[in-house]
Structures are given as structure tokens and as C-alpha cells.
Amino acid sequence: MSKIIASAAIRGAHAIVSRAEERLKEAIDAKGPDEPVAFPNTGYYLPVIYALSGHKVEKLSDMEKPLALARDMLGEIPTDSLWLPYLGQTLDSGISTLFAQEIMQGVRYVIGPSPVHGIYLGAADDAIMRQRGVEFVDGSAPGFAAVVGAAPDNETAVKIARELQQKSLYVFMAGSTNGVCFADQLAEEGVQLGWDTRLVPFDNEVHGQVYSLGFAARAAMSFGGVKPGDFKNILKYNKQRIFAFVIALGEVDDEKYATAAGAISYGFPTIADTDIPEILPTGVCTYEHVVSSIPHDKIVQKAIEVRGLKVTVTEIPIPLSYGPAFEGERVRKDDLFAECGGRKSTCCELLRMREMEEVEDGRIEVVGPDIDELEPVGVLPLAIVVDVAGRKMQKDFEPILERQFHHLINSAEGIMHMGQRDISWIRISRQAREKGFKLSHIGDILHAKLLSDFPSIADKVQVTLYTEEDKVNEILQEARTLYNERDERLAGLKDESVDTFYSCSLCQSFAPNHVCVITPERLGLCGAYNWLDGQASYEIDPSGPNKPVAKGEVIDQHKGEWQGVNEFISQASKGNLERLKAYSILEDPMTSCGCFECIVALLPAANGVMVVDRDFSGMTPSGMTFSTLAGMVGGGIQTPGFLGVGKFYLGSDKFISAEGGFKRLVWMPSHLKERLRNMLQAQAEKVGEPDMLDKIADETVATTEMEVLEYLEKVGHPALGMDPMM
């Protein structure tokens, strides 16, 4: 611990205890030892003393015992010649400070000057405690800020207060800088103060912050059921349940250091705007204990971060209705105002883990034109980049949070989202635009919902939406690099090496009967979730869309059928599906929603299968376009001979392995072949056909099934020498 802070805090504690002794003697001399003393209308006596020692202060003479205890707990002021571990002495001196301050405040109620004066309210009574304390328990008040001192000017004070209010925090004010208190600054600007506005001015002296800690102590006894005198559990309850922190504005003197030491004992850190020594290692507080030199425009967010406080945005600030009822809503051509992605433009989504200092929570920015600059049925390229920081955030969680974009955006009335990664497609209805919806509101949705839905890992969320084509393409390349890195994590993990697969039900809003089963060798058909992602998602949210699926007894290893998987899909599809053969396209294939990256379709005459992705707009050898095929494959039905897949499944050893696997691939669009060339070449070599890529037909050599067959015969494709598929 910083020797400078320890010295200052212990010096301040000595001064405060000495002053309390003087004030108590003055009160006893004036009123006698039996003069009743209490904070008004409370059954908790002097609550800090009562909570931590169990001692009831009912008259002036009752103050002598806790004051003697405060004197005994004081540490020795560190010397210049000897360095020692100071944390324990400093924290004990902090508790001494609180006892002495509470005694001085109690004496003021007896002999004055009254703690209640002007705008200052003094101690909260039990009626307020019951009314307001429950808000800390049910989460409607996520915590409180104990503001000490004053901002450099009134305008800054108002900005800090408003930001704290916007976070639904209570603000307890006591202490001054050069004779000016934060509360004075707010009052001069006409800001309404009091419990109703959550801006509570306790006292213009720093000793008044003991009311804040008394409020917290009463919460532990009243709502936490902790017994008076059980100081360990009183402090534990406050650290774990009362998310409070100190914001120190302006000069920090010895007595402010001593008060801060008392707050740290409760697990409440101090965040300062001045250059004071820092205590960064964790220990008594959840994270850092003292952090300094924080700019005023960042001090609230930094305090929230250091305290580990989760602030939930309860109302999403968009001009549309929002809720699960709108998830399955379609925006059709006649209702369309604007769209991004699909076949009309590029649209990609990327969520990145960032360090705390790299993310400005709540910052939403649109780089390029927004939809209010478009005529009806306009088209824009779009890259959505979401940067997330959190103390418990991990790289493995990126795709899990990223995949949430689908249902989070879909829950807005009049907004349709399909796809994922680099095949996203967003449609905005005319009605949504008439109500004032803009692309920036997508950022508002993602910011609010990621914080509220994933409070354990997301502390700060920043969203940037790019609509300039050059910048969108730049983000697209970065995104594809990260997508590939995520997909490569599974190298070497086999279906046979695990006992559990993972389900995904994210798309059931569009296809209620569809159930995606993700295995180590078969990623989700959307291409965004692999087996490790499902595992991580379940770890984050056991009640979420990804559930463990025990394989159970093997029914057919070759076709990929297990008793446990069948039982799960029957339950998850409400009885509409009974069996799944994970490695087959012809028997009980996996269902699809509409988010697949590619469609695999049987070409009987060619004794193989074709693959087409949604970027291909032409006619395929099956005699159907991608859109027509999608209508047959989607909707959560099993259609033998057709399969929705993620594109990287084509490089899996389990790709339709029941029917012969990779060597059955006879046609695919040329752009898809080039995009996946490295993966496909590696698989070709693995199956003993190193020149197979040149033998796979594409639209440049064949557009009908018979043309495919002619090409296969010409180049000697291995599918022609395999057993008939039908």
C-alpha cells in the first residue's frame, strides 16, 4: 500500500479521533452523561458503531466505549526511516475515523450546530431507509456515489451529477474544496436536490460522509439479515451487495484520506480527479482501491468500472416498440424503406474484445450516410463494429455475443435481420423510418441489450456503424481474418472425442421447429457458432439458446445418430422432429431456419451434390436459384436431398460422410471455390484426390445437371466411380 496514503490517512484519523474526544467532553460538560443521543427516527442507534461493534449508543456516556475502541484501533504514523506493510493499520484507522465521525455527528444533534441546515439533510431516518434501501436490493438503484469536495466549476458539477442520475445511482454529498461543496454548486445552478431526485446533500463537512456508510450498514442489517456486531459479514455484505464508490473532487487532505480508508474497508474504492498516489492491486476492494488523475468526463464511467458495478439500461432509447413479439416479423418489398446487405450490398458484423481504456461506454457513431439521407427503397453497405470491454470478458466470448445481434436487432418493430458474420441482411420498413428510426438506433439496441443481457462479462460497449463503401470493405477484411481465427480453434477435435454436443435455438423465432445441433466437426449452419462457442455460450448463460446435448447410446455411428440427440430434438421441436442423422443428406438430415451460409443439394444424374451460397444469384444445375432452394430447405423441416450448412462444413471429414463425403462435391460457384480454396485443397489431398478442385464444375463450365455430368466425365471426377447415391 502507498506509504504516502497510509501516512496521510493515519494522521487524519488521529486528528479526527482527538477532535471527537474534545467534542464528546464538551457535550458531557454541557448536558451531562445521561443526555439522550441518537440520529432522528431510527432504531439503529449510531448505525456504523452499532453494525460493526454491536454497541448501542443511547446517551452521551455510551459514546465513551466506541471512542476508546477507535483510539485503540489507530495505527502508528509511519516514520521516514522504516517501511512496513501499512494496509492493516490504515484500514483499522479508517474504521476509527468512522466511529469518531459518527460520534461527532451525534454530538451535533445534542449541542449543535445542527447537521440539518440550509440544503443539507443530515442523517436519513428509518422511513427513508425502508423506502430507498429496498431499491439497492431489487436493483432499481444499482449503487451510490459518495461525492467529496467540489468540481472545478458549476458546469462540470452538473454534468457529473446528471451522468450519475442517468445511471440511476444515488449521489451522497458531503465535504468541500476551498469551502465549496458539490451540493452548493448544484444548488446554484437550480438543480433539484433531495431523496426524490437521488441527489442527497448530507453535510458540507467531510465527516458527513459517515451518513453514507451508516446507510450501507443499515442495509446489511435490515435487508441482509446480518446481526449487529458481526463486522466481518457487515463488511462482506457491503462489498458484495452495495455497489458504492467515492468520487473525490479537488484537493485531498489528511481527513479525506482517513474517510476514504474507512470507505475502502467497506469495499468502496476512491476515484479522484487530482494526482494523488494510487493503490491499484486488488484485495479489500473488488478491483483497484484508489485511482487518480481521471478526467471529469470519464470519472463516472471509471468509478463504475473500478467498483465492478453493472448498470442496466432498462429502456432502449429508440422510437420503435421493442420486444420478442417482433422477432419473427418480416419486412417485405412493399413495406421496404432501406436495406443493407443481402444481394444488394455488403453487410458484415464484428464484435471485438477490447481493453477498458479503449472503449467509451455508450458511444454510438455512424461513419458515413444514414438512412435519413436515402430515398425510399435505398441501399447502403454496412459494417457494424461493436467493441466490448469487461473484467471477465474473454476472446472466446466474442462470437457468442456477436451472434446475439440477430435476435436483438430483430426485436425492434419494423426491422428485419437475417444472416450473420459477412452475410448479414438488414431491412428497415417505411413505418420504422416514419417514426424516426436511423442506423444509430441499432447501436442503441446493441449497447443496451449487451449490457443488460450479459452483465457478468460486458462492462462497457461502444458501437460504430460504417456506411462508406471503402471503410466497409476494410472492416470486412478484418472481420474475415477474425472469423477464420475463430474457426481454426477446433482443429483436431473430433465428434468421437466428446460425449456432449450443443444445441442452438437462436433462430426459432423464424423457424419454431428448427433445432441446430453443433458438433466439433459440424459448426452451426449459420457459420457463426462452432462447438467451442456453444460451450462458452452455455457457460455464460445456462438458460440461453445453447444447451448441452448428451449424445447417449450410439444408434448408427456411420450416419451420425444417437439416442440422446434424438430425444433432445424431439423435445426442442415440440415433437415435430423425431430423428437426426448428422452425417447424412438423404436420411433425416438436420433442419434449417433461413440463416444458412450455403445450401447443399443432390444432383442424382451426376451422382453427387452441388453447393451454392447466397451470393450466387444465377441459376444452379438443380434448376433452381438460391432463393427457390432456400424456400425448400428453410422453415425447420427435414428435406432429404437438401441441406443448409455453414461454408466451413465443406472442409469437415463429417461432411455428408454417410454418402461418401467430400468426393461427392461436383459443382459450386467459382467465387465460393476461390474463397475456400485453401481449405478445399487440404481436404482434397486428405481424401487422396489432390487435383479434385479443378474437377469440380462451376457456372463457367456448366449451368445444368447434364452439363455438369458431361464435365465430370471429361475430367474424370471421382464421384462417377462411387456407388450410386439413390
Mean pLDDT along residues 429-453: 91
- List where CATH 3.40.1470.10 sits in the chain: 598-721
More confident residue, 527 or 552: 552
Question: 598, exposed or middle or buried, with CB in 10 Å at 0-12, 13-18, 19+?
Answer: buried
- List where CATH 3.30.1650.10 sits in the chain: 324-489
Q: How far is the C-alpha of 302 from the C-alpha of 686, rounded, in Å?
A: 53
Residues near 148 by beta carbon (within 8 Å), at least 6 away in sequence: 174, 175, 182, 206, 209, 246, 247, 248, 249, 256, 259, 260
More confident residue, 310 or 231: 231
Residues near 634 by beta carbon (within 8 Å), at least 6 away in sequence: 510, 511, 592, 593, 594, 596, 644
Q: How far is the C-alpha of 293 from the C-alpha of 306, rounded, in Å?
A: 14
CATH class of the domain defined by 324-489: alpha beta
Q: How far is the C-alpha of 369 from the C-alpha of 710, rounded, in Å?
A: 49
The full length of the chain comes to 726
Give the residue from 161, 159, 128 showing the smallest Cα distance to 47.
128
pLDDT digits (tens, 9 = 90+) for 447-483: 999 988 888 788 899 999 999 999 999 999 999 998 8
More confident residue, 344 or 517: 517
Give the residue from 613, 586, 587 showing the smallest Cα distance to 599.
613
pLDDT value at 85 more than 90? no
- Note the pLDDT of residue 63: 97
Model confidence at 258, in pLDDT bands (50, 70, 90)? Answer: very high
- Note the pLDDT of residue 13: 94
pLDDT value at 544 more than 50? yes
pLDDT digits (tens, 9 = 90+) for 698-726: 999 999 999 999 999 999 999 999 999 98
pLDDT digits (tens, 9 = 90+) for 591-619: 887 678 899 999 999 999 999 998 888 99
- Note the pLDDT of residue 2: 65
pLDDT value at 127 more than 60? yes
Residues near 598 by beta carbon (within 8 Å), at least 6 away in sequence: 611, 612, 613, 614, 644, 645, 646, 647, 650, 672
pLDDT value at 325 more than 70? no
Q: Are 638 and 589 in contact (CB under 8 A)?
A: yes
pLDDT value at 43 more than 50? yes
Q: How far is the C-alpha of 197 from the C-alpha of 599, rounded, in Å?
A: 57
pLDDT digits (tens, 9 = 90+) for 483-492: 888 877 666 6
Q: Are 341 and 423 in contact (CB under 8 A)?
A: yes
pLDDT digits (tens, 9 = 90+) for 551-584: 999 999 999 999 999 999 898 888 888 999 999 9
pLDDT value at 314 more than 70? no
Between 59-68, 254-263, 280-289, 574-583, the lowest mean confidence (pLDDT) is in: 280-289
Model confidence at 82, in pLDDT bands (50, 70, 90)? Answer: very low
Model confidence at 541, in pLDDT bands (50, 70, 90)? Answer: confident
Q: How far is the C-alpha of 538 from the C-alpha of 234, rounded, in Å?
A: 34
Handedness of CA 584, 588, 590, 591 (dihedral sign): positive
- Note the pLDDT of residue 420: 80
Q: Any alpha helices (H) in 520-559, and if so which ranges? A: 531-540
pLDDT digits (tens, 9 = 90+) for 391-412: 888 887 888 788 889 888 988 8
Mean pLDDT along residues 346-375: 92
Q: How far is the C-alpha of 251 from the C-alpha of 269, rounded, in Å?
A: 17
Residues near 420 by beta carbon (within 8 Å), at least 6 away in sequence: 349, 402, 403, 405, 406, 526, 527, 528, 595
Q: Are 442 and 414 in contact (CB under 8 A)?
A: no
- Note the pLDDT of residue 510: 59
- List where CATH 3.40.50.2030 sits in the chain: 3-307
Q: What percent of the chain has pLDDT over 90?
A: 58
- Note the pLDDT of residue 287: 77
Q: Are 505 and 572 in contact (CB under 8 A)?
A: yes
pLDDT value at 81 more than 60? no
Q: How far is the C-alpha of 351 from the C-alpha of 574, rounded, in Å?
A: 33
- DSSP readout, 179-204? TEEHHHHHHHTT---BGGGTEEEEES
More confident residue, 2 or 34: 34
Q: What percent of the chain has pLDDT over 70?
A: 95
CATH topology assigned to domain 3-307: Rossmann fold (3.40.50)
pLDDT digits (tens, 9 = 90+) for 192-238: 899 988 899 999 999 999 999 999 999 888 877 789 999 999 999 88
Between 72-86, 214-228, 657-671, the lowest mean confidence (pLDDT) is in: 72-86
Model confidence at 311, in pLDDT bands (50, 70, 90)? Answer: low
- Note the pLDDT of residue 312: 60
- Note the pLDDT of residue 187: 94
CB atoms within 10 A of CB 153: 11
- Note the pLDDT of residue 137: 62
CATH topology assigned to domain 598-721: 3.40.1470
Q: What share of the chain is helix, strand, coil (3-state, %, to 5)?
A: 45, 15, 40
- Note the pLDDT of residue 57: 96
- Note the pLDDT of residue 80: 60
Mean pLDDT along residues 322-339: 80
- Note the pLDDT of residue 573: 84
Model confidence at 11, in pLDDT bands (50, 70, 90)? Answer: very high
pLDDT value at 140 more than 90? no
- Note the pLDDT of residue 572: 85
